[in-house]
């Protein structure tokens, strides 16, 4: 289970980091290419190491399906997706020597530009062929992700770090009775201003 490092989830991170419980959080990495070491991709009965920089051609046998020949490799799909949404993500990047951008202002601009689209409909408007869009979704995210708002795709990945438990999430609920009354705590200082500015709800609120 993925726990986004946001204000809504601060108590979950407190349980894992500050309560001496037998749980350990590790980074939850979603990239299909670097930096995801020692993993592989498996599609159309073909398995490849996603760190193999020598992957070329058509390792997953999709050249007869996609219309864009650059999408036959994982790196090609990653580059295409980055091209589609990187301009929106750059709104959140502070310029060198300047303070971080105002989150409220940036989100207002982002909503105005993106909220009328899903990720899929925006890619279709560029235009992109529906088969190419489907293949990008297959390698990039989970089924149905591209039917979500383009706004979510634009801000979620670069701004929110996530963690998961070694040994499954049930360790947190099992360890809960051993901690006694909750005591006040402060959020870890490593969270950035941008991350703290996003109040993103989560389906894991039952753990709070």
| The predicted structure's pLDDT at residue 166 | 56
More reliable by pLDDT, 157 or 206: 157
Q: Is the pTM of this model over 0.75?
A: no
| The predicted structure's pLDDT at residue 110 | 92
Residue 59, domain extent: 3-207
Q: Tell me the pLDDT of the chain averaged across its residues.
A: 77
Quick one: tokens of 92?
Answer: 């959140």
> In whole angstroms, what is the distance from residue 10 CA to residue 69 CA?
44
The predicted-structure confidence for 124-171, as pLDDT tens digits, reads as follows 999 999 999 999 999 988 899 999 999 988 877 555 566 665 556 666
Pairing of strands 40-43, 46-49: antiparallel
**Angle of helix 150-159 versus helix 103-114 axis, rounded to 10:** 140
% of the chain residues with pLDDT over 90: 34
Quick one: tokens of 179?
Answer: 């901690």
The count of domains in the chain is 1
Q: Is the pLDDT of residue 107 over 70?
A: yes
Q: Phi and psi of 4, rounded to 5°? A: -70, 140
| 8 A C-beta contact, residue 155 and residue 198 | yes
User: Which residue, 18, 129, 153, is CA-closest to 66?
Assistant: 129
């Amino acid at each position: 289970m993925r726990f986004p490092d946001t204000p809504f989830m601060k108590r979950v991170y407190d349980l894992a980091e500050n309560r001496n419980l037998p749980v350990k959080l590790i980074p939850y990495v979603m990239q299909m290419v670097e930096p995801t070491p020692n993993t592989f991709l498996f599609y159309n009965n073909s398995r490849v190491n996603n760190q193999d920089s020598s992957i070329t051609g058509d390792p997953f046998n999709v050249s007869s399906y996609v219309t864009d020949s650059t999408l036959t490799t994982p790196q090609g799909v990653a580059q295409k997706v980055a091209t589609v949404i990187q301009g929106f993500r750059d709104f959140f990047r502070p310029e060198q020597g300047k303070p971080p951008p105002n989150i409220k202002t940036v989100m207002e601009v982002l909503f105005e530009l993106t909220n009328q689209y899903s990720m899929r409909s925006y890619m279709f408007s560029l235009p992109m062929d529906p088969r190419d869009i489907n293949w990008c979704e297959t390698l990039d995210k989970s089924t149905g992700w591209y039917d979500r708002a383009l706004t979510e795709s634009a801000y979620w990945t670069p701004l929110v770090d996530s963690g998961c438990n070694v040994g499954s999430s049930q360790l947190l609920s099992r360890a809960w009775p051993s901690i006694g009354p909750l005591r006040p705590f402060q959020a870890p200082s490593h969270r950035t201003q941008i991350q703290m500015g996003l109040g993103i709800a989560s389906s894991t609120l039952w753990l709070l």
